[in-house]
Amino acid sequence: MKLAVLGAGAWGTALAIHWSQSHAVTLWGRNPQSVAAMRALRENRAYLPGFALPAALELSASLAAAKDADLVVLAVPTAGLRQTLEQLAASVQTVPPLIWVCKGFEPGSRKLPHEVLGEVLPGQRRAGVLSGPSFAQEVANGLPTALTLASGETAFAHDMAQALVGPRLRIYVSNDVVGVEVGGATKNVMAIAAGICDGLGLGHNARAALITRGLAEMTRLGVALGGRAETFMGLSGLGDLILTATGDLSRNRRVGLGLARNEPLAALLGNLGHVAEGVSTTRELMALAAALGVELPITAGVGQILFHGMPAEHAIDLLLNREIKREFAWPGEAHPTNPGR
């Protein structure tokens, strides 16, 4: 199969390296100078240093590379998804089937990636989201990984999952596009919270509680947006949350650790050298929560720290001293009073 991976960040590069073992892959980057450097060095030193680019992997700065592809994989940040789709539509006569691997909400519009796709390419039905617990470095290194591919076209999801799996990459199939996207977006905010928790030295008990309540928060919002609760118990929900909240390779967790040390947000983001989607996602989630009437206390606490200068210790105290709530609705109760909030 011919693949065009659009986006030469860490994740796009890792996927391109992995799939080059069994497919004809072209990796596209928007910056011609960066693409030329990768071509000369056979390495993406800016975003995935230390991993050689296979000789079979093609590199391009032209979206015409997607013209003859059997599948286009969109690995650009969510903030750049709309522009990339518009450029793709202008560059090829017929847009191939699409899979996106970006996570988050479009800044400003608060739209999920499938909604952006629907606005730019309204007739594109052979499309889906690939998400789950996955650090780019581990995928590039050939370590075992399991992901979820969700699409409204079930046959497309099955076909693509079958084509893209490998000895070290397992892909499960879902038709809950909203649930998979919301899980991938919201876990980044919880990872910031987990980093703050660990940075303050609050212990393993506190981290376990935060992850558990964070999952409840993710599920509550996902269901309000049209996702299914069981999706959040899977790879794109709980699985991705555990990885991002506890793994030292997590950029969002590193932001939280820095915030616990009272480091300025701008300096933290500048030192990362990569996008930490959880920062912009926090702002979008706060607006969504207000619009939908959904309580997101952990997200609200992270937002107060990120955007309003609240000391991390104060935000933790507010969370711990909220009024007592039921963890779940009681059996047979038709209208529970704020269970699990």
Residues 168 and 204 in one domain: no
The more confidently predicted of residues 340 and 103 is 103
pLDDT at 336: 46
User: pLDDT digit string (tens) for 188-206?
Assistant: 999 999 999 999 999 999 9
Q: Are 288 and 221 in contact (CB under 8 A)?
A: yes
Residues 100 and 242 in one domain: no
Residues 85 and 188 in one domain: no
Residues 170 and 29 in one domain: yes
211 is written with which tokens? 């992850």
Residues contacting residue 56 through CB under 8 Å, at least 6 positions apart: 20, 24, 25
Residues 315 and 182 in one domain: yes
Phi/psi of residue 162, each to 5°? -65, -40
Does 146 score more than 60 pLDDT?
yes
Residue 195 CA to residue 201 CA, distance in Å, equals: 10
Which of 152, 175, 198 is the last residue before a domain boundary?
Answer: 175
Residues 233 and 302 in one domain: yes
Does 302 score more than 70 pLDDT?
yes
User: pLDDT digit string (tens) for 29-71?
Assistant: 999 999 999 999 999 999 999 999 999 999 999 999 899 999 9
Percent of the chain with pLDDT over 70: 96
Q: Is residue 340 part of a domain?
A: no
Does 338 score more than 60 pLDDT?
no
Q: Is 166 left (phi over 0), alpha (psi -120 to 50) or beta?
A: beta
Which of 142, 175, 208 is the last residue before a domain boundary?
Answer: 175
pLDDT at 326: 80
Please report, for residues 142, 158, 184, the alpha-carbon distance to residue 117 in angstroms, rounded to integers and kept in the order given: 31, 20, 17
Q: Which residues constitute the domain of residue 223?
A: 178-320
Alpha-helix residue ranges (DSSP H) falling in the chain: 10-19, 32-41, 81-91, 113-120, 136-140, 154-164, 177-199, 204-224, 240-246, 251-260, 265-272, 277-292, 297-308, 312-320
Split into its structural domains, the chain has a count of 2
pLDDT at 333: 64
Residues 35 and 125 in one domain: yes
pLDDT at 341: 55
User: pLDDT digit string (tens) for 67-105?
Assistant: 999 999 999 999 999 999 999 999 999 999 999 999 999
Q: Is residue 331 part of a domain?
A: no
At 3, the amino acid letter reads: L
Q: Are 279 and 251 in contact (CB under 8 A)?
A: no
Phi/psi of residue 308, each to 5°? -125, 10
Q: Residues with catalytic annotation?
A: 187
| 239-258 average pLDDT score | 95
Residue 39: give its domain's CATH number: 3.40.50.720
What pTM value is reported for the model?
0.93
pLDDT at 337: 44
Residue 203: give its domain's CATH number: 1.10.1040.10
Does 286 score more than 90 pLDDT?
yes
Q: Is residue 271 part of a domain?
A: yes
Residues 25 and 125 in one domain: yes
